[in-house]
Structure 1
Amino acid sequence: MKKRAPLVVANWKLNGGTDLICTSVASVLNKSFKAEVGIAPPYVYISDMVNFLRNSNILVGSQNVSKFASGAFTGETSAQMLKEVGCTFCLIGHSERRQMFLENDASCHTKIERALVNGLMPILCVGENDQQYELGLTQDILYRQLHQALPNLELQGKRLCIAYEPVWAIGTGKAASAEQVQEVHQYIYQELCAILGEEAAEGVQILYGGSVKKDNAAELLAMPNVDGLLVGGASLDPEHFAQICTIANDVAP
């Protein structure tokens, strides 16, 4: 794969408020990053974040998107709506959405299509849980997730990302080793070539997410098939997240 400027995305999950927005913006606003940096706050803060960052290169995205375009779906937010308020990207199929809200690969496929049609960059999250990992089923799980969520997509002129997030390493402090991550990312790239074709697969960035911190960011980003990071808990500390972004600069071509 071609090495490109890394993409570092903060996923705030169900955290944050105006104080975190202000301190996070202050920590990144006046810095010049060669790496791409994105922040996904809770829905209700997206407009505020877009407004604060309007004169910067920082991307703002959502943690989810509806599989519906419009209609009587109380509590849903469509891709068109997210685009109109200034979102650039959206997370799809995060492990917490899969576990707690029973999202499946078919709905992920629909959401990816909705995002692409409306000019959003989908970041599809994939990964195995602890039991699947212990049974050696990592590749089987990824194969199913990728092959059911990604077929028949129209990617011409559009961006797509994959975030590998081993569930056993999310919020546990047990990050996968850089070598493990590289092996899995190489497999993901191999399957992307099979599903999308080699040319399209070259344009897909593969991020790693799972207890990412400033202490392991450099080692992870040094791996040939790691194109960026999806940062959870560490992104709630603005200075910590800014340090991860600075580390990403050091490996940017």
Structure 2
Amino acid sequence: MNPLCWSTCLWLWFMCTGMECLPKLHLSSRDQYDGGTTIRIQFYIDDSVKADKDDVRIFLETVIGQATTDLQSHAYFNVKNIKLDYRITKVDPALENILQSSIIPPYMYLDGIIDALTAYFDTYNMNGNPDINCLVTNHTINNRDNIRKAYGFSKDTTLCKHSVSMLLAYAPYAAYHAGRKFTEQIRDSLDPNDVKYYQQEKIKDYLSQCKGSFGPEDPDVKPPEPPTPPVNPPEHPDPPVP
């Protein structure tokens, strides 16, 4: 064998053995993401929602699509690479029983429900430690006072520091409006001691603190489809609550 053939064979041998020794890497969806700003949301569907899984999925896709578009816009966070990563599950029976004490149809003790959600998930959350725990309900979000038939409710201002609890009305007939309300709840959950909603130059840095995580995913459950871009969203955002 002449020197040229020998060197070629030797080079090919090194290449093949080197490839065999390389570790086989599996990239999760989180690893493949481009490093943008991510907020992780766990949706819990309560027993009042009688719709099938596909209808609920389509509704939440629309909500997430609307909220993502809003938060990317100058009217809200102006964070172009923001991503709302989410999962959907049913409320477990233990939590359902706890929540019933705050529901007297057609009214809901909204502060009590939020406090109950926070206390329950602080104790143990099999779904991990997401940035937002959101209960989706078909009960009317109505406190007999200043909140009547709302699309959602929240009061926590601990986003990116401690899981925020929220309520979202199951409103497939007004999914874009529900999405806008969800946007506003995310905006209003910023810690005002660290950043104000109008300080857009600081918001992205603040959101970099969001390190929420999900629990192990059921292999039989398909991940949510990418959100559907809004077709006919509300024209103007509601003014922020002072």
Larger Rg: 2
Whichever structure has more helix as a proportion of its residues is: 1
TM-score band (shorter)?
Answer: 0.3 to 0.5
TM-score under structure 2 length normalisation: 0.35
